[in-house]
Amino acid sequence: MKETPKEKKIHKNLIPGQMSIEGFLGKDKRNYSEIISTDRAELDRLDLTTKMIADRLQYFTDSAFESYDSSIIIDEKYEVNYKSFRGKLICPFGHPGVYRKGMISLMNLGNGIEINWTPLNIHMISDHCFFEGKGSIHRLEPMILKDAIF
């Protein structure tokens, strides 16, 4: 399938250098639309939706935002830390909005699973079903998310 100019531009934004030093694809050689459709099928198998995941990540993000770089315990089960950085990021899919730079880490105290994400990850999940490519530092594996935050 031939890429449209818009798809070409998105791809360029996702590889290292254009929008972020590391890029969003990691070692993944697949086209981003294939990464998205594979994850969409995975969500169906896991009985999850992008909205469920994004809402949950947003809840932890908002709850931890006031913690100012120290960890807090949420709902007696999740240890969450919000590190904010100066600056803003824009969506590689070409949306007009800007997203805070920051990194949220969560440890599920029940099973020890640890994940981290950025505010941009939440947007890319909710609006694009994009969890980043395999091997990308902010790749969020749906199966791991299920065990970590639900």
Residues 118-137 that bind Zn ion (CB under 5 A): 127
Q: Comparing C-alpha atoms, which of 147, 124, 143, 99 is closest to residue 25?
A: 124
Which single residue brings its beta carbon nearest to Zn ion? 91
User: Cα separation of 26 and 6, whole Å?
Assistant: 21
Among 9, 63, 90, 93, binds Zn ion (CB under 5 A): 93
* Residue 91 binds Zn ion, judged by CB under 5 A: yes
- Closest approach, Cβ 61 to Zn ion, in A, equals 17
* Residue 99 binds Zn ion, judged by CB under 5 A: no
Q: What are the residues whose beta carbons fall under 8 Å from the beta carbon of 58, sequence distance 6 or more?
A: 122
Backbone φ, ψ for residue 144 (5° rounding): -70, -40
How many residues touch Zn ion (CB under 5 A)? 4
User: Which spans of this chain sit near Zn ion (rule: CB under 5 A)?
Assistant: 91, 93, 95, 127
